Structure 1
Amino acid sequence: MDSTKTVSVLNDLLNITNDRIQGFSKVEDKVWETHSPLKGDYDQMVRESQEMKADLIGLITERGGEPDDTSTAAGAIHRTWIDVKNAFTGDHTESTLENVVFGEKSAIAAYQEALQSDKLCPQSTVVVADQLEQLKSSYAKFQSLEKRVD
């Protein structure tokens, strides 16, 4: 197994995880003021994202790689779009949660693609598959939160 390819895929997933963390920070002010009972689920998702990030960095460094601890350009554009949209329409909880659901779907797709690429070593495949299950769980929770707000 070529560790360079594994490190590259893991760095892509690290960038996406950083997008999630930055995206979650945008949600906090918009949603939890009016839906404080939902904060526990949200806090758990943030903790899981931080753990996912640490796991990915560990895998990258174990394979002799340098972690690319940035976010993606697409994620930055998406967060900017959210800010612009909210500036014109007002900060609506529903649209904020819709954006989170969109981001989670994108992360799930990237993780699935990484697993199907055959570029991950066996240990990385196990970790990425576990993280994909966490993403799917997070996605389901946010869909649930979105429905409660409607």
Structure 2
Amino acid sequence: MDITNTPTPGVLTKEDTIEELNDVTRLMIDSFKGYREAADEADDNWALKNEFDQRAEARSRHIASIQNYVRELGGEPSTHGTARGAVHRGWMNFANMFRDDEKGAIESVENGESFLANRIEDCLQDGQLDATGQQLLQTAHADVCAAANYYDRIDG
């Protein structure tokens, strides 16, 4: 039996980090797309549209940083969101037809940010990231939590 490629329990591999970062990247791509759609829904409220656009740009920068690091590790970075995210956005578009679009957009973003924050926390705690991966996700997590708190306050 050849054990040279068998991971040792408790030993972190590049593949572990790549897998975790790609998982979060897919969710962040969903979040980015959600912000873009929310900005479209808030076109009558310039301040809110601007907020959504700025959050989308920040999310885009986090995605690019993580994708670049995955490439540095020799991996293929995720470039698409999740099927679950597409279904969620479709549902929110349908649901928003029956209520105030702006309020629905805020609620959708708030729910998405809470989900993303929890998933990043799980990744940070499960020990599958190297130091750079940890740093990238800690920075993204701070941004996601700030957004979730902001939308919670304005939705309140």
TM over 0.5: yes
Distance 2:76 2:16 in 1: 13
Aligned-residue Cα RMSD (Å) equals 1.4
1:125 aligns with 2:127: no
- CA deviations on 1:81-103 (whole Å, 9 max, x unpaired) are 1122123x145321221111000
How big is the shift at 1:41?
Answer: 2.8
How big is the shift at 1:126?
Answer: 1.1
Match of 1:50 among 46, 55, 60: 60
Q: How does 1:39-118 map to 2 (within 5 A)?
A: 39-87=49-97, 89-118=98-127
Aligned partner letter, 1:102 = N
How big is the shift at 1:20?
Answer: 0.7
Contact in 2 for aligned 1:30/1:91 (Cα 8 Å): no
Structure with the larger RCO, 1 or 2 (CA within 8 Å, 6+ apart): 1
Which runs of no fewer than 5 residues in structure 2 stay unpaired? 1-11
Distance 1:83 1:42 in 2: 16
Larger C-alpha radius of gyration, 1 or 2? 2
Q: Which residue of 2 aligns with 1:18?
A: 29
Q: Which residue of 2 aligns with 1:143?
A: 152
The percentage of aligned residue pairs carrying the same residue is: 23
Which runs of no fewer than 5 residues in structure 1 stay unpaired? none
Contact in 1 for aligned 2:26/2:82 (Cα 8 Å): yes
- CA deviations on 1:17-71 (whole Å, 9 max, x unpaired) are 10011101111121131x2133443332122101101111011111110012110
TM-score, reference length from structure 2? 0.86
Q: Which residue of 2 aligns with 1:29?
A: 40
TM-score, reference length from structure 1? 0.89
Does the residue aligned with 2:76 lie in a helix, a strand or coil? coil
Distance 1:59 1:72 in 2: 20
